[in-house]
Amino acid sequence: MSKAVRFDEYGGTDVLEVRDVPVPVPAAGEVLVRVRAAGINPGEAKIREGQAHERWPATFPSGQGSDLAGVVESTGGDVSGFAPGDEVLGYTYARAAQATYATVPAGQLVPKPPELAFDIAGSLFIAGTTAYAAVRAVAPGEGETVVVAGAAGGVGVVAVQLARRHGARVIGLASERHHEWLRAHGVEPLVYGEGVAERIRETAGPRGVAAFIDLVGDGYVALALDLGVAPERVDTVVDFAAAEKYGVRADGGMAADDAPTISALADLVARGELDIPIAARYPLDEVRAAYTELGRGHTRGKIVLLP
């Protein structure tokens, strides 16, 4: 048997259960993975709460989770390049990662570099591809100033580092307790809240802000435009209404959900050039506690389930 997260109705973390289910059988083109780590994301909580029903409805009983890393158990027909025992990371769109076993299309898996720890590998997909897409969308140039709102969250920690790799100056909006981590990663941290526009203007100096990445919502798109950022250099992964209203970009994870991007991110971490802090690790049975912590909204980096 496999253990898997399930829920039968929309609701709070208390609808989440871990159940015994049959080990899934890989179809042609699929790989059966013994999952070692599955990162959790706010989008899954929005789906489970029913907030995303219009865009991404659930069917019940629903499984949960996209991000995963683990070890190949077996392969279906027509799979080359993977064999039992291989360490892999990747993603599923079947809401199935939070389980001891998951079947995954072979094209959505890549080899895990040996230097990359399972917990980070299993947390890389959604946060990594979203950060990659958002940074690519605003195309930071050498010496330009980029503001990242939500700089210390799962997506933020990756986005600030990728923007720095473009040679940009990065201003990261985050609570005080993340500032030391941000400074250590070459980011100029500022607290958000009242007066943030003034603080950004002062810190950015006469050249102003060239690009803005919004990972929070809450009026940041309008703030970016007030700061004089051109609409095509503002990207939000949260506020789709503002994107529509102001004509700014809304590239998120789906704009970069491919194996080469995951491989590139995995290699950066393996080489020590990208740091993904793991805020907390939970056994699969404590899935409710994991989402309760994520729901507080002040995570630094990623929270990961270890099935």
Ligand X SMILES: NC(=O)c1ccc[n+]([C@@H]2O[C@H](COP(=O)([O-])OP(=O)(O)OC[C@H]3O[C@@H](n4cnc5c(N)ncnc54)[C@H](OP(=O)(O)O)[C@@H]3O)[C@@H](O)[C@H]2O)c1
Q: Which stretch binds ligand X (CB under 6 A): 68-76, 160-168, 197-205, 290-298?
A: 290-298
Q: Which of 26, 154, 189, 307 touches ligand X (CB under 6 A)?
A: 154
Q: Which stretch binds ligand X (CB under 6 A): 36-44, 53-61, 135-143, 266-274?
A: 36-44
What span, in angstroms and rounded, lies between the C-alpha atoms of 173 and 192? 6
**Shortest Å, Cβ 111 to ligand X:** 24
**Shortest Å, Cβ 273 to ligand X:** 20
**Shortest Å, Cβ 217 to ligand X:** 7
Contact assessment for residue 135 and residue 157, using Cβ atoms and an 8 Å cutoff? no
238 sits near ligand X (criterion: CB under 6 A): yes
**Shortest Å, Cβ 196 to ligand X:** 8
249 sits near ligand X (criterion: CB under 6 A): no
158 sits near ligand X (criterion: CB under 6 A): no
Q: Which of 127, 276, 278, 280 touches ligand X (CB under 6 A)?
A: 127
**Shortest Å, Cβ 102 to ligand X:** 20
> Between 45 and 110, whose beta carbon lies closer to ligand X?
45
User: Pairing between strand 30-39 and 302-306?
Assistant: antiparallel
What span, in angstroms and rounded, lies between the C-alpha atoms of 215 and 177? 18
Spell out, one character per residue from 159 to 178, where the chain touches ligand X: x when CB under 6 A holds, - when not.
Answer: --------------xxx--x
189 sits near ligand X (criterion: CB under 6 A): no
- Number of residue whose CB is nearest ligand X: 153
Spell out, one character per residue from 207 to 226, where the chain touches ligand X: x when CB under 6 A holds, - when not.
Answer: --------xx-x--------
Q: Which of 2, 13, 41, 123 touches ligand X (CB under 6 A)?
A: 41
42 sits near ligand X (criterion: CB under 6 A): yes
What span, in angstroms and rounded, lies between the C-alpha atoms of 307 and 292? 18
Contact assessment for residue 275 and residue 127, using Cβ atoms and an 8 Å cutoff? no
Q: How many residues bind ligand X (CB under 6 A)?
A: 30
Q: Using CB under 6 A, which residues numbered 251 to 280 contact ligand X? A: 252-254
Q: Which of 66, 130, 161, 261 touches ligand X (CB under 6 A)?
A: 130
> Between 86 and 218, whose beta carbon lies closer to ligand X?
218
Token pair of 163 as six digits: 């923007």
Binding site for ligand X (CB under 6 A): 41-43, 126-127, 130, 149-150, 152-156, 173-175, 178, 192, 215-216, 218, 237-238, 252-254, 294, 297-299
